[in-house]
């Protein structure tokens, strides 16, 4: 994301320079040239300004959203499937391009507590729903919430699920509520992409400000897992998770 922003900034600077040159040339030609030259240079200048505005509109400020919010390319684990309580298959996989040396944004270093090492075994959803063994696609989160009969609650309790969404309602991040104080204080534990596992308050994170709490009557959040010696047709889900 930082590299993208740098390229955008360079393009914006180029567009601004072009606009400045065009406007300066237009000022000279306006005094000496005909109307055709004036019109052409005016159109070029406006185009450069428009390009600049487009570049700035598309640039995302660094650090506003963690890398986990962008879908990772996953490689399926042969012969391994996860199931919701209703029997729907939830894909599990490993990242095509592991990057376990990622670092959290500097502004959070003094506001979170690291409780787990950085590694690429699981993303946040996999840490919650398959006990940190695999990655789970973001697109599967709402299916899990529905078919495992989670209910949306206003006041969480320890053990509840926290879900962060973007403004379009897409899940960005999941975690588990570890503690709730009498004064409304909430402590969350979640895995930040490949940076590690952290304790933090609901607002001390880089995933967004659209926060939901979900409660389920079931014990824990783990999906049922089934494994076979090799790839093939997924077996019927068993009644409990595979150890």
Among candidate residues 36, 120, 107, 114, the one with its CA nearest the CA of residue 74? 120
pLDDT of residue 15: 46
At 129-177, the pLDDT tens digits run: 999 999 999 999 999 999 999 999 999 999 999 999 999 999 999 999 9
pLDDT of residue 187: 98
pLDDT of residue 35: 52
Statement: the pTM of the whole predicted model exceeds 0.75: no
Mean pLDDT by 10 residues, the chain (243 residues): 35 45 48 53 46 30 40 83 95 84 83 90 95 95 98 97 96 97 94 93 92 97 85 58 44
């Amino acid at each position: 994301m930082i590299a993208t922003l740098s390229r955008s900034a360079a393009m914006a600077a180029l567009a601004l320079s072009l606009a400045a040159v065009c406007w300066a040339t237009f000022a000279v030609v306006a005094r000496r040239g005909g109307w055709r030259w004036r019109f052409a240079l005016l159109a070029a200048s406006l185009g450069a300004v428009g390009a600049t505005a487009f570049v700035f509109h598309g640039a995302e400020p660094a650090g506003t959203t963690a890398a986990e919010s962008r879908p990772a390319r996953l490689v399926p684990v042969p012969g391994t499937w996860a199931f919701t309580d209703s029997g729907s298959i939830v894909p599990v996989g490993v990242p095509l391009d592991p990057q376990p040396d990622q670092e959290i944004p500097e502004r959070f270093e003094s506001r979170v507590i690291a409780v787990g090492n950085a590694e690429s075994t699981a993303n946040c959803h996999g840490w919650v729903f398959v006990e940190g063994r695999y990655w789970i696609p973001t697109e599967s989160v709402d299916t899990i919430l529905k078919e495992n009969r989670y209910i949306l609650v206003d006041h969480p309790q320890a053990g509840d699920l926290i879900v962060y969404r973007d403004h379009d309602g897409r899940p960005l991040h999941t975690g588990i509520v570890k503690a709730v104080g009498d004064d409304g204080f909430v402590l969350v534990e979640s895995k930040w992409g490949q940076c590690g596992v952290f304790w933090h308050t609901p607002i001390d994170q880089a995933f967004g400000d659209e926060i939901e709490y979900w409660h389920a009557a079931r014990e824990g959040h783990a999906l049922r897992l089934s494994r076979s010696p090799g790839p093939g047709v997924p077996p019927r889900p068993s009644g409990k998770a595979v150890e």
